[in-house]
Amino acid sequence: MGNTIVKIIFGFLVLGALFVVFAVWMVWKRPLTVDAWMSRTALKINGLERTELQTDSGRMTVWEGGSGPTLVLLHGAGDQAGAWARIIGGLVGDHRLVIPDLPGHWKSDPRSGPIHMEQLLDGVDRVMDAYCADEPAVVVGNSMGAWLGFLYARAHPERVARLVAVNGGPLIEPNPGVNIFPTTRDEAREAMRGLMGPASPPIPGYVLDDIVRRTGSGPAARFAQTADEMGRFLLDGRLGEVTVPVELVWGAADQLLTVAYAQRMVDELPRARLHPINGCGHVPQRECPIKFLEALTTALAEPPPEPQPAVEAVMEIEP
């Protein structure tokens, strides 16, 4: 009997040791995966439930929870629903939240192959039909998610109460000086300097290595494989077709899509307002969650921006 108990205890110790070794290996070699696990756990802790729906690309994971006016939160390329985890606690008490893993990202199909814009837009369509059929929703998109938000709002203005664009849009002028597909640790370090605010702590080398790994083969790279198809989804010179009110909540330290990029959209959109967040970069909901949440809630508490007055052309008549 005594030997059996000793063997059982020894077995648990071995399992515990193996778990610790695995956990250390994951943190060291796959820190972005660990961060994704933790962020999705935070969604669950804050009362959101994981659901699924069917799209043309297969199954799509969607997190839903809270009560009040609906916010649909769309993450950027290469990210996943947990991108919004750090602000969920400040929203879920006053809003119903709908947060998908966009097609081709994390737990949503397709799991391999190029990711086409049509697949992403189909995913947004299915989410809006399944979760927001009763009333217009506020769509909040970061980076690629903002681009999708503009395209959806242009096609379905009656379904969007307001669009919040977070460091993203449908124009073609990102800063080519920021390399978003680094191939070395040093390139990743420079890329993150361009994407984050100056006060953010330096990123450890092992995290930079994982960034290189993910950007080389992850969803962002799979989306980039379809770059030749993306031109017809740009709205350069056509932003006037987006008639819904737009709030641009912008990390002002972003060197990829700068404040000047945001201001260009404000100037061209019929109903738009800019809310810069100083010291924050391309993904402010992750980097500066307190500042971002304050800017977002302030923007949504204000009445929607009114249409800009038309500028009448004045013709000079020569004497």
pLDDT per position as a tens digit, 97-111: 999 999 999 999 999
Asked whether the predicted pLDDT for residue 265 surpasses 60, the reply is yes
Q: Which domain holds residue 228?
A: 2-301
Domain contains 319: no
User: Per the structure, how many domains does the chain have?
Assistant: 1
Domain contains 311: no
Domain contains 306: no
The pLDDT mean for the chain works out to 89
Sheet holding 49-55, edge to edge: 49-55, 58-66, 96-100, 70-74, 137-142, 160-166, 246-251, 272-277
Domain contains 126: yes
Domain contains 310: no
pLDDT at 5: 54
pLDDT at 295: 98
CATH number of the domain within which 258 lies: 3.40.50.1820
Domain contains 308: no
| pTM for this model (two decimals) | 0.89
Domain contains 37: yes
Domain contains 157: yes
pLDDT at 20: 35
The predicted-structure confidence for 225-249, as pLDDT tens digits, reads as follows: 999 999 999 999 999 999 999 999 9
In eight-state DSSP terms, residue 80 is -
Q: Measured between alpha carbons, how far is 230 from 116 in angstroms, rounded to an integer? A: 9
- Structure token digits, residue 248: 């641009």
Asked whether the predicted pLDDT for residue 308 surpasses 90, the reply is no
pLDDT at 317: 35
Using omega within 30 degrees of 0 as the cis cutoff, is the peptide bond preceding 110 cis? yes
